[in-house]
Amino acid sequence: MGSIALNGLGRIGRLLVRLLGTTRPGLLGAVNDPAPLDQLVHLLRYDSVHGPSHRPIDGFTEGGQDFLLLGDRRLPLFHATDPSSIPFPSGTRLVVEASGRFTRREEAARHLKGGVSHVVISAPSPDADYTIIAPVNGSGLDLARHRVISNASCTAHATAPMLKILEDAFGLEHAGMSTVHVVTNDQRLLDLPHKDRRRARAAFQSIIPTTSSAFGALHRVMPDLPPSFDGVALRVPLLSVNLVDVVATLRRDAEVAGIRAAYAAAAAGPWKDLLALADPHTVSCDITGRTESVILDQDLTMMLGPRFVKVFGWHDNETGYAARLRDLVVDLAARI
């Protein structure tokens, strides 16, 4: 029986299942989602963005208990709505909280019972014990103290290397970021009440300016960022792939060639597999399915003044993020 359980089999949860299925099929031991078995099986089989599953997917009920059949592995599927009442198997040590419903520490910590010693939230959390973007602050993770861990956001994972590489090479005085961000299930298909009145508007009708939880996560992960670092998300009527636009004033003079060289060195060295360089003339659909956190579009790099730079990076908000979640839980499962 696997030592990881998953709460929330939505966009991110299902992609995590796919990614673990190809790399570490034995790790996932149980799943919880209130949706009915047949609906979850259907959505695991067919994906409107990423295509059909390459593994056979099925489900069955035995003795009143639902099971998912992923390839030749059977996983118990529960349907609780409260983390404290999910009967995950006794061998479960880590829960991935990917429902989007329980991002505060107090809520996510309801998973900490029985043998479960750690929870990873698949989103920014205002008060998790630690927010991690492994290459930036992974060394600060203390598993004895940090039980509820936030894996930040897709936008934070894309933006962190863009900023860190500039900071290390040229110093950062001021910085801002806008993300051109695709639709997620936290918007409305047609006008319907939502606490964010812009997200209440029809998702496929407008450019929808809204907040991004990435800023809080980035300040937690990179405490030396300029305190005024901020920006917006511009939700656009597409299904996959975001474009992050970073502007910054630097502490030292720079030229486009030097900025490009810094990112190219990072892509070949410390950020290998997490940061890549885009092919010339890339558009967003070229990035769908990519597992890197960010793919720098070097052709769009520009100097707006001797120390004023603008850089762009693409990322598949679902696959890239689910890949970072996989990396984290595989690492943690080996250590707890």
Ligand X SMILES: NC(=O)c1ccc[n+]([C@@H]2O[C@H](COP(=O)([O-])OP(=O)(O)OC[C@H]3O[C@@H](n4cnc5c(N)ncnc54)[C@H](O)[C@@H]3O)[C@@H](O)[C@H]2O)c1
Contact yes or no for 231/177 (Cβ under 8 A): yes
Task: Phi first, then psi: give them for residue 227, nearest 5 degrees.
Answer: -55, -30
Minimum CB separation of residue 255 from ligand X in Å reads 34
Q: Is residue 291 involved in binding ligand X (CB under 6 A)?
A: no
Distance CA 331, CA 336 (A): 9
Using CB under 6 A as the binding rule, the residues of this chain from 306 to 335 that contact ligand X are: 317-318, 321
12 token code pair: 């991110």
- Clarify whether 285 is annotated catalytic: no
- 3-class secondary structure, 151: coil
Looking at beta carbons only, is 129 or 318 nearer to ligand X?
Answer: 318
| Catalytic residue from among 40, 154, 156, 287 | 154
**Which one of residues 92, 153, 179, 249 is an interface residue with ligand X (CB under 6 A)?**
153
* Nearest position to ligand X, beta carbon: 10
Number of residues that bind ligand X (CB under 6 A): 26
How far from chain centre, in Å, is Cα 147?
A: 19
User: By C-alpha distance, which of 292, 275, 170, 159 is closest to 215?
Assistant: 159
**Which one of residues 137, 178, 184, 284 is an interface residue with ligand X (CB under 6 A)?**
184
Using CB under 6 A as the binding rule, the residues of this chain from 88 to 107 that contact ligand X are: 98-101, 103
Distance CA 152, CA 216 (A): 9
Minimum CB separation of residue 123 from ligand X in Å reads 3
**Which one of residues 23, 81, 84, 205 is an interface residue with ligand X (CB under 6 A)?**
81
Q: Give the long-range contacts of residues 252-255, CB within 8 A, separation 24 or more.
A: 252/170, 252/171, 252/307, 253/306, 253/307, 254/169, 254/170, 254/303, 254/306, 254/307, 254/309, 255/303
Minimum CB separation of residue 179 from ligand X in Å reads 11
Looking at beta carbons only, is 249 or 317 nearer to ligand X?
Answer: 317
Write the CB contacts of 113 (distance below 8 Å, at least 6 apart in sequence). Answer: 84
Task: Phi first, then psi: give them for residue 315, nearest 5 degrees.
Answer: -160, 145
Q: Is residue 7 involved in binding ligand X (CB under 6 A)?
A: yes
Q: Is residue 34 involved in binding ligand X (CB under 6 A)?
A: yes
**Which one of residues 12, 20, 41, 274 is an interface residue with ligand X (CB under 6 A)?**
12
**Which one of residues 5, 123, 149, 329 is an interface residue with ligand X (CB under 6 A)?**
123
Q: What is Dmax (Cα atoms) for the chain?
A: 70
Distance CA 92, CA 95 (A): 7
Minimum CB separation of residue 151 from ligand X in Å reads 8
Instruction: Note the residues at the interface with ligand X (CB under 6 A).
Output: 7-13, 32-35, 81, 98-101, 103, 122-123, 153-154, 184-185, 317-318, 321
Active site (catalytic) residues:
154
